[in-house]
Every structure is written in structure tokens, then in C-alpha cells.
Amino acid sequence: MSGVVLTSGWVIALLVGLTVAAAVATAAFWDRGRFRVVHRAAGLLVVQLLLLVSLAAVVNKQANFYVTVGELLGQGGDTYAQTLPADSPRLSVDGGQDELAGWIAAHPAAPGRGTVIPATLAGRSTGYALPAQIYLPAGYRASAGDLPVVMFLAGYPGTVFSWLDSVGVGAALDEAIGSGRLPPVIAVMAEQDPVRGRDSECVDSALGVKSDTYLTSDLPEIIHKHFRAAQGRQNWAVAGYSTGGFCAVNLALRHPDRFGAAASLAGYFRPLIDRSTGDLYQGDLDLRRANDPRLMIGQSRPQPLDLFLTAGADDRSAQRDLTAFAPMVRAPDTALVIADRPGGHNFTTWRAILPDLFDWLDERLGGGHRTAA
């Protein structure tokens, strides 16, 4: 039961069918039986509950919050094999090139559109085999030269489909690259939670889960192996919304050799311990401090970091975090802060900020000029 995929069409159809059947049954037996008040109340209650569950399932499919029943119930477990198409390539540093070539040949992109490859990325350091969506810009195979890379991280709950299906980053990249506002880039929508149903915060936790290592060591190694990804921190950026925003800033501060730029869309800047994360640090104060952007932003690093920080004007929690953190960014680090755009903590707000994000990335990827805001 825990492996049932909630975003499957048959699951939603079943729930809708049960809702309709319950409504019909309630109407049919409305005036029958001796205890009419009881069965009428029970019928109405069942119909309303099924209606709410059906609506929740539709919203969940659109927003990509939970994939399986087990994830919804916080049971964790390895259910990632069910989240990607059966013919998706499995990529590692030791293999997968033939599978990748076959998948690309079998799924040609429309003219002017990028190719999105669903793939399992099997890491060498961690042993994790996690799903990803990899965007290659239009003309990738015909062009020469290595391309910058942007890693996109979702909030919690969220999936590797969230940036594409809910934020619409694929179509936005097509438009920005096609119009010349952004250089051709490889975009990687990465899975950040090695244990399904448990928020990793993208850290190497005291519990032994190594999300940080997977994202900053295993994933770049695989991307460099299979794609024309440019080397150097000036060619790598990381962006995230909500929890993914914390991840982006935290990872960039922890790995200045890997990322030259990080973007937080309605993120926060403090390490959390809550029901979704569990106790990631197990009382290890040094480990917790080593994953606190508020402490790390003032530390000396070999290279400065460029930050893109934004939150919708109606997103009160994110606004408080942004207002507290932004003044901590001092030269030679830079921060572009956008806090006056309308919107709350939702995909519509984050979709609307993409043009600004891409303009900012255009100035930084590939060693573009640095401007302080």
C-alpha cells in the first residue's frame, strides 16, 4: 500500500469515482430505512470526506508534493523507482551513456524547445540512486563547447517534477535562452532527500544521511561524465524555493569551490529541526553551526559568493527571514534583494520572479561581470 503512486491518473479517477458513487448512493437511499437521520448524516459525511480527498489528490498532482502513500505518511523507504518512466536512463560515472543516447534519440525535442531527460543518478560516494530531471537547451547536440550548469532544488514536500510542472522553469528557460537573455545552460532538477518522506535540509546529518555529499560531489561528477558541463565555480549556480532556498544558500556557502552563485526564492537561513526533518544534528552543536548560513556568511572564504534573495511581499515568514539575513551580506559577497513583488508563498509568485532570476544568472554564469546590489 505504501508504494501506491498518488499522482497516477488511476488513483485520482478512483477517488472521483468513489465520490460520485457515494453521492448517488446517498441520494438513492435518502428516504429509505428506519434510521433516516443516521444514514443521511453518514452519507453526507462520506461524500464530503471523499470530495476533500479527491480535491487534495488533484492539488497534489499539480503541485508535486507527495508521490506515494508511504511518503505522505512519512514512512520513508525506497520508492524512487516508481517516480520516473520505465525507459529512463540510469547514469553513473561507470555507465549509462548508451541508455542516455538511446533515450535522447527516442525523444526528439520540438524546434526551439529544450530536452528534458528523466534519469536516475547513481552516486559513487554515497551509493544513492536518486531521480533527476535534466534540461538540455535547444541545439545542445549540434553546438560545441561546454555549458554552465544550474541546479534547481525544490521545497519540502516536493519532487524533481516541481520546478518543471509547478514553477514552469523548462518553458521559461526555452524563452530566455531563445531570446538571448540567458546563455544556453544545463539545468538539473535534483532530488535532495535520500530518504523518501523525510526532509534532509540538504545536509550531511548526524544520522548518516549524506544529502550534501550527494548534491555537491556525486551529482556534479555524473553531470560532468555524461554532459558537456563546464568546469569551475563561475559556471555552476544553485537555486531553490522554500526549503530549497535554504539548501541553495547553505550549500554554496559550504562549497565555495563548487558554486559561484546561489538563489533563494522564499527560503530561510537557519537550520531547522521539526517533524519533517527529525533531529538531523543529534545534539552536535558544531555540525548545526556548520549548516547555519547566518554564521557562515560572515566567514572568510577563498572566493566571494553572489546571492539572489527574494520573497513575495505577502509571504510574511519568508519576509522576516529575508529582512534579517540580507544585511549580513557584506563585500566582497554581493546580494540582489527583491522583496517588493506581490505574492505569497506559492508557485505563482516564484514563476513570476524567473525573468529577474535569469537576468541575474546571465551576469554571473561563465564569469560574467560582478555587480553589487
pLDDT tens for each residue of the chain, 373 residues long: 555 666 667 778 887 888 888 788 888 878 787 777 877 888 788 888 888 887 777 766 655 566 666 666 655 555 565 578 888 999 999 999 999 999 999 999 899 999 999 999 999 999 999 999 999 999 898 888 999 999 999 999 888 999 999 999 999 999 999 999 999 999 999 999 998 888 999 999 999 999 999 999 999 999 999 999 999 999 999 999 999 999 999 999 999 999 999 999 999 999 998 888 889 999 999 999 999 999 999 999 989 999 999 999 999 999 999 999 999 999 999 999 999 999 999 999 999 999 999 999 999 996 553 333 3
- State residue 82's pLDDT score: 59
| Sign for the pseudo-dihedral over CA of 262, 266, 269, 275 | negative
Q: What is the DSSP letter of 268?
A: -
Residue 219 in contact with residue 226, Cβ under 8 Å? no
Q: Does the N-terminal peptide bond of residue 332 adopt cis geometry, omega within 30 degrees of 0?
A: yes
Q: What's the CA gap between 194 and 76, in Å, rounded?
A: 9
pLDDT computed for residue 4 by the predictor: 67
* pLDDT score of 367: 53
Distance of alpha carbon 215 from alpha carbon 1, whole angstroms: 30
Position 373 scores a pLDDT of: 36
Cβ proximity of 130 and 191 under 8 Å: yes
Measured from the Cβ of residue 102, the count of other Cβ atoms closer than 10 Å reads 12
What is the spatial distance between Cα 373 and Cα 367, in angstroms, rounded to a whole number? Answer: 18
Report how far residue 92's alpha carbon sits from residue 208's, in angstroms, rounded to the nearest whole number. 22
* pLDDT at res. 217: 98
Please report which helix (H) or strand (E) contains residue 19, including its range: helix 9-28
Instruction: Quote the CA–CA distance of 44 and 14 in Å, as a whole number.
Output: 19
Report residue 202 CA to chain centroid gap.
11
Question: Of 322, 326, 328, which Cα lies nearest the Cα of 297?
Answer: 328
